[in-house]
Every structure is written in C-alpha cells, then in structure tokens.
Amino acid sequence: MPSPTDPGSRPADAAEGGIPVPRQAPAEGWLRQVRLARGVTQQALADALGCKRQACAQLERSEARGAISLYSLRKAAAAMDYELVYALVPRGASGPLAQAPAEPAAERPWAAGEDLPTNLL
C-alpha cells in the first residue's frame, strides 16, 4: 500500500466527474489526522461544531475524498483551533500558463478591480 504522502492521484468523488485529486494529503484526510493528533474524539468535534457524531464522520470522509466544501473545512478547522490555508501551486514549468507574462507588472497599467501595485502605496 502506498504511503499517504506519496505523489500520485486518488479517485475523486463520482459526482465531480472523475477529476483526479492530487495525493499530497493523508489517505484518511487532514481533518481526521489533525483530530487524532490532538486527541479529540469525533463526538467532541461534533459537539464543537453543533452537529451529530455521524455528521462529523461524514465530514472526514468527504474531506478524504476531496469532496468537502471550503466552508465546512474552514468551520471544522476552526472548531479544532486551526486556520484553513488554501493555495493554488503551479505543477511545473510547462504549459501555456507557465510562460513569462507578456509585460512586467510594473510596466502594465493598473486596472480597476485589481489590488494596487505595492510601488503605488
């Protein structure tokens, strides 16, 4: 059996169209891993979330298969005194989005709706 942190993919929830979810997390999911490491029972977590233990178990299963909502994951993390950090990280230097930007950010004019460049602050 591969290690839970081995790179690769695991099947996604069938409702999600079979999009592979990268295996860079424990096979049981981060919620269960963190809960067990902190010595928190599912019932204690369920009490903190204001739900039944079965709902807490379902949250853990959903997170392990990559089908949990960010709202639910953030709420469960907060109940264990954790902060959810969500990130998109490039896979490598190939593909059309990996090309250098057409113009450096400093030379490109600022557009409404964008954060102000730090050199303008």
Question: CA–CA separation, 87 vs 78, rounded Å?
Answer: 18
- Return the C-alpha torsion angle 13, 17, 22, 28, nearest 10: 0
What is the CATH code for 9-87? 1.10.260.40
Q: Where are the domains of the chain?
A: 9-87
Q: For the full predicted model, state whether its pTM sits above 0.75.
A: no
How much is the average pLDDT of 71-96?
87
Contact 106, 117 (CB under 8 A): yes
- 116 pLDDT band, cuts 50/70/90, is low
Predicted local confidence at residue 8, as pLDDT: 44
Percent of the chain predicted with pLDDT > 90: 47
